Structure formats: structure tokens, C-alpha cells
Amino acid sequence: MGISSDLLPGTRVNPTLAPAASRAFSCRSRSGSYVPPWRLHDVASSYEHLWLYNPCTSTQTFIVTLVLVCCIVSIHLWISSQGFRFLNHENWPLTVGMEGKRAFTSAARALRTSRSCRRNVGQSRRWQSTSTGNATTHTPKAFWTTGRVALLTAFTGSLTYLYGISDTSSHVRGASGSLASSKPVYATKAELEKAVAELRDLFGEDAISTDDEDLHRHGYSEWSSINIDTLPVAVAYPRSTEEVSQIAKACHKYKIPIIPYSGGSSLEANFSAPFGGVSVDFTFMDKVLALRPDDMDLTCQPAVGWMTLNEQIKDSGLFFPVDPGPSAMIGGMVGTSCSGTNAVRYGTMKEWVVNLTVVLADGTIIKTKRRPRKSAAGYNLTGLFVGSEGTLGLVTEITLKLAVIPQETSVAVCSFPSLRAAAATAMSVVRSGIPIAAMEIMDDVQMNVVNRAGATKKKWKETPTLFFKFSGTPGAVKEHTQQVKALSRHQGGDEFEFASNAEEQKALWSARKEALWSMLALRREGDDVWSTDAAVPLSRLADIIEISKKELDDLGLFASALGHIGDGNFHTSIMYNKNDPEERKKVEDCVHRMVDLALEMEGTCTGEHGIGLGKKDSLVQELGLDTIGVMKKIKASLDPLAIMNPGKVFDLP
């Protein structure tokens, strides 16, 4: 099957015209896909490399000015060549309007009579001479014939165009004004087809898909806060690190964007394809390569799901504690440096990765480190790739630390009169040093969702609620439960309700983990979800949750607040009608205010979902231009052609 895109990456589109432009730019257009207008800036900024129409760069200003000057001079020369006086008028500045008008009238008349002029030049000159008086008598035989002027214009136009596409001066400077790399120009359709054909020759027809549904699945996500109108043009299914390297080499040769894809559960359009390109899906790289119980580690491929992994290794008495979305896989979890409910006890993804095998943009295969739990050897490249959202390389093997499965686990639920009281309890639990295994907050709306979704047999009180997970020896679990009970009571919390058995515990915890999906199932027909996360220093959590909750309630929409409260990380999910501009605007303002507030409190715009396409502006606001400039330099040194997941984390280059 061939690539049937109408327009391919590299096509130049006016970013200010999105979404029309983004539709036009689409490698495969999708009905139903949608970019909320207020986020067009995010998308448009992904098209930043389409320099020709961006009025902000000096190159463009220069080119536009040059072309305009050329046109004016050419028109003047043409008119002069026809025998009019114009620039050689003594009082040109004062009389140019009059002359221009006269010249225009004459030119119009000349056009009307152009046929006869062309047939008989002498006749034409006679006509000019009557209309311009003495002018003809002063005009020597014109060098600038219409043909020559047209030639000059075409030549100048081509020169300026070539200058423009090779120029790196005005837009290669990064945010800090110091990054020197050129704007990416990606493959043409012919080059893409060549690359696909080469890869199919190497790995077989099925290894590269251009099937519409496949492309859609790899560029669009129902639970993503942002979706754009472009899709990848092909999906590659490698089976080994070596094959990933060959894919990278082909993409590098033809300058084709590469977008790594594992579980597809990320929420900020992290795997979307604003520049088309090839999505590299690791589906067939789903093996646990080595389990080493004595070392308490394992090595696996990227498409191993964290839930499947724990199922596979449970007999070893070990488990992998990082728990993001149920369908997430290790490769993508490295990509977003995710966390989850267990992070308050066990930490986030970056603490659990020992080493990585990475295929770089040019196909080079590297290993970031050996296998000891600690190492002070050289730069921390492992840490560099964790959380880089596929913008620096493709992770093909991961060595992970493992934790010991606790002897006992217990889950308790406690309702509170207010979110502030619940948040205050959570803070006091953390401050008292009780090694809680997990601590989650859900507001009244989310508790209503749990009840309506029927996730557990019990009906829960629909008020702000804390979910506690205790784990350890039976004695420790008992002791910690008593301590937390006392702290909850102090803040007006109800009696603890315990999950009655392991099954109930599992159901309750998965009700929390699948909260987003439950909300989606209960939404109004056609509604979209905007789900976002932010994190603040612990002491500010109660404040931000209270303010944000009030704003959510004021929206009058189906919206909830929940989060990993022990980490100072909370989430909001808002269902809204994308076709109602007023509703959209309200939601946009609400989310932006929440992020701004988090930043004002020395927090972050994302505790765990990453930047993707959706939070690039917030990242600049959070870290500043100089810090983003350093990130850009790192990116430019590892991926000078900017083919690795372009447009994510920050704008290019």
C-alpha cells in the first residue's frame, strides 16, 4: 500500500491559518479530530519551522521586503520601458501620486490595447507619444522589455526563496538566543515512499503499516487533552534493537520524523504527529529478557505493560511499584517519567530505572550504564532519557529495580467534610513520617463516579474522600492504620471503612486508577475531556486544591478533582462541549489559572503527565528561556536533524 497523503511533512503552511492549515497539512485527514481554537497557538507553534509565513522572524521580514521592492521596481521598469516618466520626475516625492495615477490609467489603457500594441510596436509608440506628451521624445530605445523584467523578477524571487530555506540566522537561536542549529526540513513524499519501500525490503511488507485505522490509532487519543489534525504517515513494528536502529537510519537518511509509541496512554498528545513521520510501535518487543531475583532487578523490552510484568514476576516475591495508567508500558513510562499511586512510598519512574539501551536518531545504539544499583561513572545519561518523551532517542531495553512484595496490604477509605480537611490530613500523615503505601484524594464528583460506575459492591459517601493503602508486616500495618485514623479524626474525618478482602481492595484501587475512563463512560454524548495535572510543595496543596475545586464547581460542568495527594500532585478532569466556544473558553481559563497558580506556588505545570504538545508554553513560564535553551542544546547535539518526536516539550529548533 502506498502513502496516500495529499500533503506531506515539509509542506509549508501558514500557522496562523490553523485549523484550516493543519487540516491541509494533514497527512491523513480525520473527520472528528479536533484542535480547540484556544490551543491553536500550541499547535501553530509546532509549525514554527514553516518559516515562510511566520511574520515574526527577521528572515521573513527581509524576504517579504525584498520581494515587494523587486515587484515595485519591476513594475516601474516595465512602465518606464513602455515610455512613461515616473522616477525621473524632478519633484517625484510630491508628484508621484499624480504621476502614478496617470501611469496607472495609461497602463490600463495600454493593457486594453496590448494586443494591437504587440502587433504593431510603431503604432503603440504613436499612442504613447500622444498620451505622454514629450516623454516619448526623451525615452531611448527601452532595454527593459516586459520579458526581461519578468525574467529578473523570477530570478530575484528564486534567489530570495533559496536564501530563505538555507538561512539559519534568524530562527536557529533557541529561547536563550544561543542555540545554533538549522530549522528542520523533512522528507518529501517521494523520499517517504522510498524509505518505506527500503524498510519493507528489509523487514517484510507487514513490518510497516500505512493502514488508515493504524495511523489514526497512533496519532489520536480519546483521553488526550489535545488532539491535532495530523497523523503519522506510517507505523513501523520492529522486533529487535537492531531493527529499530535500521528504522532510525532510514529515517535519518531521508529526514523523517520518528515518534516512539508504547502503550498510547499518555495524556498531553505526547505521541501525536504534528509533522507526520513514522510512528515506531514496540508491540512486538514485549519480552522480559532477564529476571534476576537475587539482584532484585530485571531487563525487559519497551512494550511490557507494568501490570503484565507484575503478574509475570509475582512468584519471585518481587514487584515493580510504578503504577500509571493501566495500559501503560515500560517504554512509554520511561518516556514520561511517570508515577502513580505508589509514588508516595516508592518514588517515580526515574528512581527505578537502572540502565537503558537507546537507539539514537542516527541509528547508533548506546547503553547508558551497567547494572549496579549505584554508579558514579560519568554523566547520568539514564536520567537524561527518562522523561525526554521520545525526543532524544528510542528506548529498546530497560533494566529496572524491583521491590519486595509486602507481607500484608490493607486499603481504607475515609470521608471528610471538606477538601481542605482531607488535604490537611494527608499533609499531617506525611509530616508524621508514617510510611504510608499510597494516599489518594477524590472529590465528591469522583466518588459519585465510583458509585455510578459500580466499580465496587459498596456505595460510598459522596463527599471529599481519602483512600489509604497500608503495607508491610501485619504489625506495622495495624500500627500505621491506628496512627492515620487518629490524624483523620482530628480533621473531622469519618470512621475508616476497610475493603473487606483482597478482591475488594483491588476493585477499590482500580476504581481510582480508572477514574478517567469511568468519567469518560458517563459523559454527555460528544463531550471531550480535558485532564490535567499540576504539583506544588506539600504545604500549598490544601490551598491549590480548594481554589481549583471552587473554580471547577463554578464551571457548572461535569468536572472533578483528584490526585496523588501524598506527593503534592493533583489532577482535574473536565468534560466539555468542544463545539461551544463559550464553554471552551471557560474551561481553558480554568485550566490555565490552575497551572498559573501552581507556578506561583513554586510548583510545576505537570507532576507526571509530561509536556507533550499541550504544555510547552507553561514549561517556558516554569523554567525560563535559559533553561529551555540548555534543553535545546542537548536535543540539538543528540538529534541535529530534529527528527525525534519533533514539536514536543519545546518548539523547534
Q: Is 265 in the site for ligand FAD (CB under 6 A)?
A: yes
**Residue closest to ligand FAD (Cβ):** 332
Instruction: Identify residues 57-76 at the interface with ligand FAD (CB under 6 A).
Output: none
Q: Using the structure block, give the residue that is written with the C-alpha cell 534568524.
A: 170
User: Is residue 280 a contact partner of residue 14, using CB atoms and an 8 Å limit?
Assistant: no
Q: Which stretch binds ligand FAD (CB under 6 A): 169-177, 199-207, 325-333, 445-453?
A: 325-333
Instruction: Identify residues 478-537 at the interface with ligand FAD (CB under 6 A).
Output: 514, 516-517
Least distance (Å) between residue 648 CB and ligand FAD: 6
The size of the interface with ligand FAD (CB under 6 A), counted in residues, is 36
DSSP 314: G
Per-residue b/e over 183-204, b at no fewer than 16 CB within 10 Å? Answer: bbbbbebebbbebbebbeeebe
If the CB atoms of residues 282 and 496 are measured against ligand FAD, the closer one turns out to be 282
Distance CA 318, CA 291 (A): 10
C-alpha cell at 188: 518529501
Q: Which stretch binds ligand FAD (CB under 6 A): 134-142, 375-383, 389-397, 481-489?
A: 389-397
Least distance (Å) between residue 477 CB and ligand FAD: 23
Q: Which of 285, 301, 207 is closest to 250 using CA atoms?
A: 207
If the CB atoms of residues 74 and 341 are measured against ligand FAD, the closer one turns out to be 341
Q: Using the structure block, give the residue that is written with the C-alpha cell 523523517.
A: 256
Q: Is 438 in the site for ligand FAD (CB under 6 A)?
A: no
Least distance (Å) between residue 564 CB and ligand FAD: 7
Q: Which stretch binds ligand FAD (CB under 6 A): 228-236, 262-270, 404-412, 534-542?
A: 262-270
Per CB under 6 A, the list member of 340, 472, 603, 646 interacting with ligand FAD is 340
If the CB atoms of residues 323 and 551 are measured against ligand FAD, the closer one turns out to be 323
Q: Which stretch binds ligand FAD (CB under 6 A): 323-331, 473-481, 483-491, 499-507?
A: 323-331
Query: Which residues on neighbouring strands pair with residue 530, listed in sequence order?
Result: 574
Instruction: Identify residues 588-627 at the interface with ligand FAD (CB under 6 A).
Output: 608-609
User: Is residue 371 a contact partner of residue 401, using CB atoms and an 8 Å limit?
Assistant: no
Per CB under 6 A, the list member of 250, 259, 422, 628 interacting with ligand FAD is 259
Least distance (Å) between residue 334 CB and ligand FAD: 6
Least distance (Å) between residue 390 CB and ligand FAD: 3
Distance CA 543, CA 520 (A): 28
Q: Which of 312, 308, 341 is closest to 324 using CA atoms?
A: 341
User: Is residue 627 a contact partner of residue 616, using CB atoms and an 8 Å limit?
Assistant: no
User: Is residue 299 a contact partner of residue 252, using CB atoms and an 8 Å limit?
Assistant: no
Q: Is 297 in the site for ligand FAD (CB under 6 A)?
A: no
Q: Is 281 in the site for ligand FAD (CB under 6 A)?
A: no
User: Is residue 319 a contact partner of residue 403, using CB atoms and an 8 Å limit?
Assistant: yes
If the CB atoms of residues 465 and 569 are measured against ligand FAD, the closer one turns out to be 569
Least distance (Å) between residue 286 CB and ligand FAD: 11
Q: Which stretch binds ligand FAD (CB under 6 A): 44-52, 230-238, 255-263, 598-606?
A: 255-263
Strand pairing class (497-498; 465-472): unpaired
Residue-by-residue DSSP string for 239-291: -SHHHHHHHHHHHHHHT--EEEESS---SSSTT--TT--EEEE-TT---EEEE
Per CB under 6 A, the list member of 282, 468, 470, 570 interacting with ligand FAD is 282
Per-residue b/e over 576-609, b at no fewer than 16 CB within 10 Å? Answer: bbbeeeebbebbbebbeebbebbbebebbbbbbb
Q: Is 387 in the site for ligand FAD (CB under 6 A)?
A: no
DSSP 524: P
Q: Which stretch binds ligand FAD (CB under 6 A): 31-39, 311-319, 328-336, 490-498?
A: 328-336
If the CB atoms of residues 51 and 306 are measured against ligand FAD, the closer one turns out to be 306
Strand pairing class (465-472; 318-319): unpaired
If the CB atoms of residues 450 and 487 are measured against ligand FAD, the closer one turns out to be 450
User: Is residue 648 a contact partner of residue 391, using CB atoms and an 8 Å limit?
Assistant: yes
Q: Is 646 in the site for ligand FAD (CB under 6 A)?
A: no
Say if residue 503 is exposed, middle or buried (CB neighbours under 10 Å; 0-12, 13-18, 19+): exposed
Q: Is 223 in the site for ligand FAD (CB under 6 A)?
A: yes
User: Is residue 23 a contact partner of residue 32, using CB atoms and an 8 Å limit?
Assistant: no
Per CB under 6 A, the list member of 117, 395, 529, 534 interacting with ligand FAD is 395
Q: Is 566 in the site for ligand FAD (CB under 6 A)?
A: no
Least distance (Å) between residue 219 CB and ligand FAD: 11
Least distance (Å) between residue 451 CB and ligand FAD: 18
Q: Is 329 in the site for ligand FAD (CB under 6 A)?
A: yes
If the CB atoms of residues 264 and 472 are measured against ligand FAD, the closer one turns out to be 264
CA 169 remoteness from chain centre = 26
CB atoms closer than 10 angstroms to residue 319: 19
Q: Name 194's Cβ contacts closer than 8 Å, sequence gap at least 6.
A: 254
Q: Which stretch binds ligand FAD (CB under 6 A): 321-329, 361-369, 399-407, 582-590?
A: 321-329
Q: Is 645 in the site for ligand FAD (CB under 6 A)?
A: yes
Could you tell me how many residues make up the chain? 653
Q: Which of 46, 130, 41, 44 is closest to 83 using CA atoms?
A: 130
Q: Is 271 in the site for ligand FAD (CB under 6 A)?
A: yes
Site of interaction with ligand FAD (CB under 6 A): 223, 259-267, 270-271, 282, 302, 324-325, 328-329, 331-333, 335-336, 338-340, 389-390, 394-395, 514, 516-517, 608-609, 645
